[in-house]
Chains A and B, each alone.
Chain A
Amino acid sequence: MRLLTHNMLSSNIKGVEKGFPLRIEAEKVVEKPVEMNADFLRKMFEKVEWKAFLEASRSMGYAQLPEEVDSGMLESDEFLSRFHHALLELHLEEGALVCPETGRRFPVNKGIPNMLLHEDEV
């Protein structure tokens, strides 16, 4: 699972009000190189919630993203390549996503988060 997917998911348990961002417990992270698309990154920059993304990247063991960002940074190739790497090349392979409000763990196996809810959570 890429961090782009992580950035668009909330905890979906019934009654949870602030389900975003899901905390990441990383047991295994893999890197899969893909070609960089600067236009796509510029578009995503407007949509990604930076703080959640930053924390997620750190919990995946990647500490190269700046704390504060502004759109001027999109002119920098160095920033773009780091943003690209964290957004699209890092994959959570084994671990869990944890609901920030209830602590419920959604396991991630072979890169696939299991977000199925129990009957009393729907």
Chain B
Amino acid sequence: MKLKQLEGLLGGLDQFPNPKVELEQYPTGPHIASRMLFTAENSFEDISNKVVADFGCGCGTLGVAAALLSAEHVLSIDIDPKSLEIASLNAEELEVDMDFIQSNVMDLRWRGQIVDTVIMNPPFGTRKKGADLDFLNVALKVASQAVYSLHKSSTREHVKRTALRDFNASNAEVLCELRYDLPKLYKFHKKKEVDIAVDLWRFVPGKHQS
């Protein structure tokens, strides 16, 4: 599938009608989502024929993108039932088969090393400090092959240090810097549109103890 085609398909997905501030529900736009998954597949072969998990899936965009790029099994997790409802309709709309679980990403307990790749657009941690790194910590324990994640560019050094030193990642690399257009979703946003710089990361988990 071509990048433009993927972006086009993702552009038709439904997004949060009433985003929840406390969960930092920002939609992952089709521009960013398509580039993230396209890179994961075409540069690293981390998607097709793999088991892929989406942490904090929201309306399901990243998982749907993985399924469109021929992931064998996609498991998307979110705490919010409304998001999961939309995500599962989105999957149906594009006729892709995905599994969903309603859970706090921090609370799930996993058996074995079945997940190959974790993809996620975690809460940036502006409301709940460190939330993005909490997600990353779990992702690096669950994935056997790679973790793709978005973090604010302003936190680049901190993310790198924490991943390598505290989360046992064997590699942490910024693949590209993207502009994240946040439409004015919440009352506390003063400007009409906020444009922030985010990094697309690829992390390689360290060797797991079995």
Contacts and interface: CB of A to CB of B under 8 A. Distances in A.
Contacts of B84: 112
Contacts of A49: 111-112
Contacts of A88: 72-73
B79 A116 contact: yes
A20 B110 CA distance: 9
A49 B210 CA distance: 14
B72 A115 contact: no
Interface residues of A, number: 31
A11 B101 contact: no
A11 B88 contact: no
Interface stretch (A34-42, A56-64, A73-81): A34-42
Given A37-B72, A39-B49, A112-B84, A10 B111 contact: yes
B141 to A, nearest CB: 13
B100 A111 contact: yes
A20 B113 CA distance: 14
B99 A2 contact: yes
Contact of A4 (B73, B79, B103): B73
A90 to B, nearest CB: 12
Contact of A12 (B49, B97, B109, B113): B109
B150 interface: no
A47 B99 CA distance: 19
Interface in B31-52: 49, 51
Given A2-B73, A8-B114, A37-B72, A117 B102 contact: no
Interface string B73-107: 10100010100100010000000010111111001
Contacts of B111: 7-10, 20, 49
Nearest to B144: A47
Contacts of B104: 116-117
B112 A5 contact: no
Interface string A1-32: 11011011111100000011000000000001
A112 B49 CA distance: 23
Given A32-B97, A112-B101, A8 B88 contact: no
Given A4-B51, A5-B75, A112 B102 contact: yes
B114 A47 contact: yes
Contacts of B10: none
Nearest to B77: A115
Contacts of A111: 88, 99-100
A102 interface: no
Interface of A: 1-2, 4-5, 7-12, 19-20, 32, 34, 37, 39-40, 44, 47-49, 88, 110-117, 122
* Nearest 3 CB-CB pairings of A with B: A115-B103, A12-B109, A10-B109
Interface of B: 49, 51, 72-73, 75, 79, 81, 84, 88, 97, 99-104, 107-115
Given A5-B101, A8-B114, A116-B102, 13 more contacts: A1-B101, A5-B75, A7-B111, A7-B112, A9-B109, A10-B110, A11-B109, A12-B108, A19-B109, A47-B113, A114-B81, A114-B102, A115-B101
